[in-house]
Amino acid sequence: MAEINEKYVVKEVKIKVPWGEIALKCWNLAELPAVLVVHGLCENAGSFDRLIPLLSRQFFYVVIDLPGHGRSSRFPQGLPLDFMVYVGQLERVITHFKWKKLSLMGHSLGAHILEFFAATYTNKVEKLILIDAISPTPVPSEVFLVFHRNEMNDVIELEEVNRKPTSYTYEEAFLQVASKRMSTLTREAGKPVLDRSLQESNGKFVFTTDPRIRREIKPAIGQDVILDQIKRIKCPVLVILAKDSEQFWLLNSPGFYTRVLDILKRTHSRSAVVRVVGNHCVHNNQPEIIAPIVNGFLLDTRGNSKF
C-alpha cells in the first residue's frame, strides 16, 4: 500500500525468498533511475526516513531491510551470518526490479556490503556512496580459525539465551536502539528505526531483529584480499566521513584505512572523500548536512570533473 510522504509516494514491497521475505521501502516512481540503499548493522530501512525526503526527486530510491533486520525474514537458524551471503541477496532485489544499471548508497555495514557488490558486479553499478564507512575490518590470517570458532560459539550461545525474547516497554526499547550502538541517535532519528524493529506482545514489545546480528558481520579476510577487491571497483565513489568517527579509524589500523581511501579516490576522476560534522549516524541525526552532498554527486553527469 502506498502512502504520501511530503514529496514522495512511498510503497512497502516484499520479495519472496526461499526462507521467507525481503522487505523494501520504495520512494518515488519505479521508472526513474534506481538507487539501492542499504542500512547499517542493527538498523533497518527506517534509518533513511529522514534523509531521502531531502534528496533529488529524479531517482527511485529502494531501501532494503537486510535479512534479520526490520521486516525482513531471518536467515535460517543454526548457522553464523555470512557477509558474502548478504552481498549476494542484493542481486535478488535487482532481479525483482529488472534493473540493468543502478547507483548504490549505504551506511556502515551497508556500505561495506555495497563496496563488495560494486567490486563483483562492476558492469551494473553507476555510482557508489559510502556513508561513514571505508571498508570491513580485516581479519589477520593468524586468527582466521579463532574468528570462525568464536562465530559458531556465539550462535550456539545466542540460541540458548534467546529462546524467549526479552520484552520491553516502548521507552526501554528506544534506549536499546538509541544508546547501545557506536554513536547515539536523537529521538526523532531513532523512532523510525525502532518502529520498524518491534512487535507488540502482551502489552509490551519484543524486537524482531535476529539476535545473531549482535556480532560484527564481516568477511574473514585479511588486508591484502580486501585491497584487491576494492581495486576492482570502476564507478565514481563518494565517501562521506563523520568527524566524530575519525578517532575510530585512527585507533583501528589507520595505515590500512588510508590505503583504502587512496584506492577509492582513484577509482574514477569523479570520486571524492568528504568530511562532515557529526557522529556515525549523521545521515539520520542531521540529514540536512548529508543531503546536498549526496544530491551533488548523484546529479553530476560531467565527464571528468569533480561534483
Residue with cell 550502538: 181
pLDDT in tens, 117-135: 999 999 999 999 999 999 9
Q: What is the pTM of this model?
A: 0.93
**CATH numbers and ranges of domains, the chain:** 2-299 (3.40.50.1820)
52 or 255, which is more confident: 52
Rounded Cα distance between 241 and 275, Å, is 5
Active site residue 108: yes
pLDDT band at 305 (very low <50, low <70, confident <90, very high): very low
Give me the pLDDT at residue 6, please. 59
Instruction: Calculate mean pLDDT across residues 139-165.
Output: 86
State in Å, rounded, how far the first CA of the chain is from the last one. Answer: 36
Q: Which of 47, 103, 108, 245 is catalytic?
A: 108
Residue 18 burial (CB count, 10 A)? 6
Query: 261 near 225, Cβ under 8 Å?
Result: no
Given a cut of 50, is residue 304 above it in pLDDT? no
pLDDT in tens, 92-102: 999 999 999 99
What percent of the chain has a predicted confidence (pLDDT) above 70?
Answer: 94
Give me the pLDDT at residue 187, please. 92
Residue 303 burial (CB count, 10 A)? 7
pLDDT band at 179 (very low <50, low <70, confident <90, very high): confident
Identify the weakest region by mean pLDDT among 6-15, 159-168, 223-232. Answer: 159-168
Query: 237 near 268, Cβ under 8 Å?
Result: yes
Helices (H), the chain: 83-97, 109-120, 144-161, 170-179, 187-195, 223-230, 246-251, 254-265, 282-285, 287-299
What percent of the chain has a predicted confidence (pLDDT) above 90?
Answer: 79
* 102-107 vs 125-131, strand pairing mode: parallel
Given a cut of 90, is residue 296 above it in pLDDT? yes
Give me the pLDDT at residue 201, please. 83
C-alpha cell at 277: 560534522
